[in-house]
């Protein structure tokens, strides 16, 4: 197991060295999006409407809890990634380079990750307060009417993650 310090947004070269099980400390911009936001992304793509820029983006399956004085986010734990599986291939096709969540994905998502040269990074469930410590700032980027499921742009520093899938076809969840 190796350790990498990466910066988002990504290009393929920055992801090529990663292997499943490697530790990643992620810095840079990360978008949050859960179920409702994914449905909106899909509707906008299907209808040809505008959407947040996705080329090179990292999407974190998270609905963070707003912070208090001195802290932009109180808790930012991952949600179960499988709920986003129906939308993942479409978003990867629009340039998303990494997704962050927890739990295994469908075979179709693993295939789409390989085809689109993207990675799945795994965040530790139940560690929302710890993950929030790496968030430097937060702003609503899209869909404010969704409340806690609005798309946020987070600026993070050294967010601790594990490589769940790599560009070489490796999948950490060996049951699939």
Clarify whether 7 is annotated catalytic: no
Q: Considering 20, 22, 32, 38, which one is annotated as catalytic?
A: 38
Written as one string, the DSSP assignment of 3-17 is EEEEEESP-HHHHHT
Give dist(CA 141, CA 47) in Å, integer: 20
Going 14 to 55 to 61 to 128, the CA torsion angle's sign is: positive
C-alpha dihedral (52, 58, 62, 64), degrees to nearest 10 = -80
Instruction: Name which of 163, 42, 152 is nearest 113 in CA terms.
Output: 163
Q: What angle do CA 76, 108, 55 make, to 5 degrees?
A: 55
**Residues catalogued as catalytic:** 38
């Amino acid at each position: 197991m190796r350790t990498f310090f990466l910066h988002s947004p990504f290009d393929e070269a920055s992801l090529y060295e990663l292997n499943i099980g490697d530790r990643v400390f992620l810095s840079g911009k990360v978008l949050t999006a859960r179920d409702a936001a994914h449905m909106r992304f899909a509707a906008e793509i299907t209808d040809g409407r505008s959407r947040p820029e996705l080329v090179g983006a990292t999407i974190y399956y998270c609905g963070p809890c707003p912070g208090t004085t001195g802290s932009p986010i109180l808790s930012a734990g991952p949600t179960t990634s499988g709920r986003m599986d129906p939308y993942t291939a479409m978003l990867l096709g629009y340039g998303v380079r990494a997704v962050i969540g927890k739990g295994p994905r469908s075979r179709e998502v693993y295939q789409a990750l390989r085809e689109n040269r993207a990675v799945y990074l795994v965040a530790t469930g139940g560690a929302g307060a710890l993950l929030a410590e790496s968030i430097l700032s937060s702003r609503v980027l899209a869909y404010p009417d969704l409340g806690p499921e609005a798309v946020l742009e987070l600026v993070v520093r050294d967010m601790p993650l594990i490589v769940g899938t790599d560009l070489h076809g490796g999948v950490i969840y060996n049951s699939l």
